[in-house]
């Protein structure tokens, strides 16, 4: 039985990680979604337990104290965290767990979870990045500018990631991520007793 892995899909605001992650999940039934805990207010259409677990600051701080997070961070005045137990249990069972997360969170996960696979989602151009942040339409002009400046700075962290995927066309970005998943399933380091499997009756065959 091979171990699964945590697939960290990350990038700045406006890189489109939400959209690409959603398209990937719709196409693939073999990937689990890691739902984050947050103290921010739900946006229109967001459901508790599906998009996020929406909690109060008090509850969040309790969870931090109990060491319940793989990472957590303050982003735009709200807390976000990834519940640890869920991720580890699924990986041990052989599952691929998808985590959409901002750059701060991804870097924290990198320190705690060496075997995760890190993908940096890139906007094709800076103009397109700005367009996407503006189009979201849920923020004030000041918020938009702050997001754009943060996004620009965060591009410097691409070097900390394993893979980059350019989100110019969603279906192309999803194909890139699928190739990464396919390859990562063939990683020797996550397999136990490859030789034994071949020696055993039945051997190893493609599904």
Residues contributing to the site for a second copy (CB under 8 A): 120, 122-126, 128-129, 155-156, 158-159, 161-166, 168-169, 172, 176, 179-180, 182-184, 186-188, 191, 194-195, 198-199, 201-206
Report in angstroms how near the CB of residue 165 gets to a second copy at its nearest. Answer: 6
Q: Please name the residues in contact with 7: beta carbons below 8 A apart, sequence gap of 6 or more.
A: 31, 96, 97, 98, 99, 116, 117, 119, 177, 180, 181, 184
Q: Is 18 among the annotated ligand-binding positions?
A: yes
Q: Is 200 among the annotated ligand-binding positions?
A: no
CA nearest to 15, candidates 179, 154, 160, 141: 154
Count CA within 13 A, CB hemisphere, residue 89: 6
Q: Is 14 among the annotated ligand-binding positions?
A: yes
Q: Is 56 among the annotated ligand-binding positions?
A: no
Name the residue nearer to a second copy (CB basis): 41 or 189: 189
Report in angstroms how near the CB of residue 99 gets to a second copy at its nearest. Answer: 18
Q: How far apart are CA 3 and CA 177, in angstroms?
A: 19
Distance set, CA 88 to CA 4, 92, 199 (Å): 9, 6, 30
Q: Is 36 among the annotated ligand-binding positions?
A: no
Task: Pull the structure tokens for residue 145.
Answer: 């500018």
Report in angstroms how near the CB of residue 174 gets to a second copy at its nearest. Answer: 11
Name the residue nearer to a second copy (CB basis): 57 or 171: 171
Report in angstroms how near the CB of residue 43 gets to a second copy at its nearest. Answer: 27
Name the residue nearer to a second copy (CB basis): 49 or 202: 202
Name the residue nearer to a second copy (CB basis): 59 or 126: 126
Backbone angles phi, psi at 30, to 5 degrees: -95, 10
Distance from first CA to last CA of the chain, Å, rounded?
14
Q: Please report, in range form, the residues annotated as the binding site for ATP.
A: 11-18
């Amino acid at each position: 039985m091979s171990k699964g892995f945590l697939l960290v899909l990350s990038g700045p605001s406006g890189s489109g990680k939400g959209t690409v992650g959603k398209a990937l999940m719709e196409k693939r039934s073999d990937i689990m979604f890691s739902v984050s805990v947050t103290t921010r207010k739900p946006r229109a259409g967001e459901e508790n337990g599906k998009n996020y677990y929406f909690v109060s600051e008090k509850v969040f701080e309790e969870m931090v104290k109990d060491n319940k997070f793989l990472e957590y961070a303050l982003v735009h005045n709200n807390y976000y965290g990834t519940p640890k137990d869920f991720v580890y249990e699924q990986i041990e069972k052989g599952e691929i767990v998808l985590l959409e997360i901002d750059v701060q969170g991804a870097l924290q996960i990198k320190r705690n979870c060496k075997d995760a696979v890190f993908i940096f989602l890139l906007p094709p151009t800076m103009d397109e990045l700005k367009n996407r942040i503006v189009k979201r339409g849920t923020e004030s002009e000041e918020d938009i500018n702050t997001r754009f400046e943060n996004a620009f700075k965060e591009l410097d962290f691409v070097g900390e990631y394993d893979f980059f995927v350019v989100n110019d066309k969603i279906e192309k970005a999803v194909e890139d991520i699928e190739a990464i998943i396919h390859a990562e399933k063939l990683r020797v380091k996550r397999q136990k007793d490859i030789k034994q499997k071949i020696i055993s009756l039945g051997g190893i065959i493609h599904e």
